[in-house]
Amino acid sequence: MTKGEIKALISLLDDSDFEVVSHVEKQIAYLGEGIIPFLEEEWEETLNSSLQKKIEDLIHNLQFEALQKRLLEWRDAGAENLLEGMFLVNSYLYPDVDFASIGKTMDQLYFDAWTQMKDDMHPYDQVKALNNVLFREKRFSANTKNFHSPANSMLHLVLESKRGNPLTLCVIYMTLAQRLNMPVYGVNLPNLFILTYKMNGLQFYINVYNKGLILSKADIDSYILQLNLNPVDIFYEPCSNLDIIKRALRNLAFSFEKMDDPEKATEVTKLLEIISDEEQPNQRETL
């Protein structure tokens, strides 16, 4: 379709005939997210508030459909790039945020951490050096005041505010650690996402939410005992990038529930379901 034809199509959204409007909406959905700039242009030009609301809903639906496809593509490609997966979660609320800007911020953090690393450092010293950069120099910390805010799951906002939930802070930490050739991976501990350093028989744990506190297996045993749970491998061993993104989506859905926004909670749950092979788990608060 030409630009003129697209604009003529969009103008019919304000038609008084319901069937005409319904047909136009289906045509817009068929054209996909490429039509969004034309919808935004129409939104800016009209003073009709009901038409603006209709356009806003159409744009959201187009973006949501595109996000579902991208999440599936990311999963089916092997879910190798964790930062990209978190960016896709981020784009549910902020579709206009540029992945390159997130990458640029992470590159700077990596450079700052790299300058603190030395050859043949003991793993504990590596962790302490990374802790020093992130939590002392850059002042990243837990967002305890607004613990259930959806912003805590938005990677670009956490990088800007330096406040986040356990999982998002862990993703930042783990991404930097792996770029520094540290064998650091995520661990799906109940109610608290943590990291593990695991290599050649050496394994310990890192509580990023508590400024990179180093934990032992005995500490994890004690934590699980306090929760009255049976110690199973998933609480001790590295999890996949896909598991991390599933948990990020569960966190976000739960945040919307706490914020009394069931519509968004339902949509995020749908995103979770389309990348899950199993049924939606009952586990809720898994920050």
**Residuewise pLDDT in 10s, the chain (287 residues):** 777 778 777 777 777 778 887 887 888 887 888 888 888 888 888 878 888 888 888 999 999 999 999 999 999 999 999 999 999 999 999 999 999 999 999 999 999 999 999 989 999 999 999 999 999 999 999 998 888 899 999 999 999 999 999 999 999 999 999 999 999 999 999 999 999 999 989 999 999 999 999 999 999 999 999 999 999 999 999 999 999 999 999 999 999 999 999 999 999 999 999 999 644 444 444 56
Count the Cβ atoms, other than its own, within 10 Å of residue 129: 19
Distance CA 126, CA 116 (A): 9
Q: What pLDDT, on the 0 to 100 scale, is given for residue 286?
A: 59
Distance CA 276, CA 22 (A): 32
> The tokens of 264 are what?
């968004």
DSSP code of residue 59:
H
Count the Cβ atoms, other than its own, within 10 Å of residue 226: 8
281: amino acid identity, one letter: P
Instruction: Tell me the β-bridge partners of 184.
Output: 197
Residues 6+ apart with CB under 8 A from 110: 176, 179, 180
CB contact at 8 A, 194 and 208 = yes
Whole-number Cα distances in Å, 115 to 51, 62, 109, 133: 54, 44, 10, 10
